[in-house]
Amino acid sequence: MSKTELLSCAGVPVRSEKVGEMEFMTYISGGDSIGVASGSAGYPSSCSVVPLKRRYCEVTFVLRIRVVEKVNYTELTGGFATKGEQCGLVVENCLSPKQVV
């Protein structure tokens, strides 16, 4: 895939870096929160907090001479059977639909 095709289907990256003939274009998806709770009670006062969990995916396309050579993923996704769901949101417009024979 060319850089022009990537920009056309994925849009403008949140950050990019160019080193020589290599270019790194990074996209981020997600950001919803689950499992947040806090409370306090009694005297002396006590408090507890349940940690925040954010689901996201950071996808970095590595291009050499304006052509995608590699794709790297960093993710923290949701529960059962959800591996990569946030990553799919980044690249879904870049995938060709399967042809039915």
Give me the domain span that covers residue 83.
Answer: 3-94
Tell me which of 42 and 25 has the higher pLDDT: 25
* Number of domains the chain is built from: 1
Q: Identify whether 72 is part of a domain.
A: yes
Q: Identify whether 31 is part of a domain.
A: yes
Judged against a pLDDT cut of 90, whether residue 35 lies above it is answered with no
Q: Identify whether 29 is part of a domain.
A: yes
pLDDT in tens, 40-73: 555 665 555 555 556 678 889 999 999 999 999 8
**Res 98: pLDDT:** 58
Judged against a pLDDT cut of 90, whether residue 94 lies above it is answered with no
**Res 89: pLDDT:** 77
Q: Identify whether 100 is part of a domain.
A: no
Q: Identify whether 51 is part of a domain.
A: yes
Q: Identify whether 18 is part of a domain.
A: yes
**Res 54: pLDDT:** 62
CA distance linking residue 101 with residue 97, whole number of Å: 13
**Res 83: pLDDT:** 54
Cβ count near 90 (within 10 Å): 22
Q: Identify whether 101 is part of a domain.
A: no
Tell me which of 12 and 46 has the higher pLDDT: 12
Q: Identify whether 21 is part of a domain.
A: yes
Longest dimension (CA), the chain: 71
CA distance linking residue 20 with residue 32, whole number of Å: 36
Q: Residues for the chain: how many in total?
A: 101
Average pLDDT of the chain to the nearest whole number: 76
